[in-house]
Amino acid sequence: MIHGGAQENTLLTIQGLKRDTLWDLHLVYGPEIEGEGSLVDEACSLGITLRPLQSLRRNIHPWHDIRGYEELLNYFRAEHFDLVHTHSSKAGVLGRMAARQAGVPCVVHTIHGLAFDEFQPAWKNRIFTTAEQVAAEHCDVMIAVCRTMAERAIAAGIGNRSMIRTIYSGFPLDQFLNVKLHPQNGRFVIGMIARMFQLKGHEDLMSLAPALLRTWNDVEFLIVGDGPMRKTWDTWLGSHPEWEKYFRFTGRVASHEIPSQIEQMDMVLHLSRREGLARVIPQALTAARPVCVYDVGGAAEIVENGKTGWMVAPGNLEKVIECIRSIRTNRSLTQEMAFAGRERMQKLFAVEAMQSEILGLYRELMAIRPS
């Protein structure tokens, strides 16, 4: 239950189900990870049954994985669940297999992202792909948070088109719709909201920042998030002390604080090379902030290049700088783009729509479950 999109999606799904008195809800989750934050308090406030499992770890570990599977199997058998819904790769594999083995009649999994990609060694990709293929055979429906994830899964032999549904990962829109439209801080603030982790774009920002600072002296970088890459930032700025005044680091912030951070930004950069569908992109667009993002994962499904934001091939820093220049110098165009993006997000990412679709799916499965 770290701070992350999959975890927020899970809690929002539970909130939607809480409005329907049919459900007795249990949430099973692994131990906290140092430096990643925790949403356990938010889960506690929902008034559901919580079941932490110390053996349910993120990384592959044969002993913990076997133990985690056994604990899930025993828990599912003891509680006689009608439906189990899994999230994330490890919990998704172990949870689906244990649920089916325990005789749970309805099993659902949400694909927030896929563990295999071009950044992994081939042997790891084979393990992850095989595990996902097997797990798909142990569930009834898989929800993909974007069409791109659905197509990638199908291409890899994970499930089939008839069992995968796309439901965008909604969020409460009001707090982003109420963001003030024009920051009044005297600087052009470029924002980045992401875990400080490899491939999330921080290395590329370090590479392009010097060129921007040599061109404009009123640029400021507002970096929201925390993680292992923070040490790299400290080292980088230590070797360039003259640039330190142009950077602000918030550290990790709670999800309800994201709108106030976006409010201080003139634009949002998202240079991650490994994503399912980054939550910050629709959030920024809902707040009427222009975005420049790498064309990875499901970004192309929500950013219409040149209409609601800018899409750039991963690693093309010259194009990123060009997009930033366009946003900075042509404010009327970027304002039109931002409002077009806001209108589109209201149609796609209303949390009530996501909750309704998932509830409808549950009811559909419960109606056809084996007697």
Q: How far apart are the C-alpha atoms of 269 and 237, rounded to whole Å?
A: 20
> Of the ranges 31-35, 135-139, 319-323, 353-357, which one carries the lowest mean pLDDT score?
31-35
Nearest to 344 by CA among 311, 298, 293, 307: 307
Domains of the chain (ranges; CATH) run: 5-170+350-368 (3.40.50.2000), 174-348 (3.40.50.2000)
Q: How confident is the model at residue 169 (pLDDT cuts 50, 70, 90)?
A: very high
Structure confidence at residue 190 (pLDDT)? 96
Structure confidence at residue 370 (pLDDT)? 64
**pLDDT tens readout for residues 200-217:** 999 999 999 999 999 998
User: Does residue 145 surpass a pLDDT of 60?
Assistant: yes
Structure confidence at residue 337 (pLDDT)? 86
Structure confidence at residue 371 (pLDDT)? 57
Neighbours of 41 (CB within 10 A): 9
Percentage of the chain surpassing pLDDT 90? 71
User: Does residue 35 surpass a pLDDT of 80?
Assistant: no
Q: What is the CA radius of gyration of the chain?
A: 21
Q: What is the mean pLDDT of residues 257-272?
A: 95
Residue 270: DSSP 8-state: E
**pLDDT tens readout for residues 78-120:** 999 999 999 998 999 999 999 999 999 999 999 998 888 888 8
> Of the ranges 115-124, 140-149, 351-360, which one carries the lowest mean pLDDT score?
115-124
Structure confidence at residue 64 (pLDDT)? 92
Mean of all residue pLDDT scores within the chain: 92
**pLDDT tens readout for residues 221-264:** 999 999 889 999 999 999 999 999 999 999 988 888 999 999 99
Contacts of residues 317-325 at CB distance under 8 Å and 24 or more positions apart, as own/partner, are 317/204, 317/207, 317/208, 320/204, 320/208, 320/269, 320/271, 320/292, 321/208, 321/211, 321/212, 323/292, 324/190, 324/212, 324/267, 324/269, 324/292
**CB under 8 Å to 70, separation ≥6 — which residues?**
none
Q: What is the mean pLDDT of residues 264-279?
A: 92
Structure confidence at residue 184 (pLDDT)? 63
327: alpha, beta or left? (left if phi > 0; alpha if psi -120 to 50): alpha
Residue reference for tokens 């609601």: 308
> Of the ranges 13-27, 110-124, 160-174, 270-284, which one carries the lowest mean pLDDT score?
110-124
Helix then strand then coil, in percent of the chain rounded to 5, is 50, 15, 35
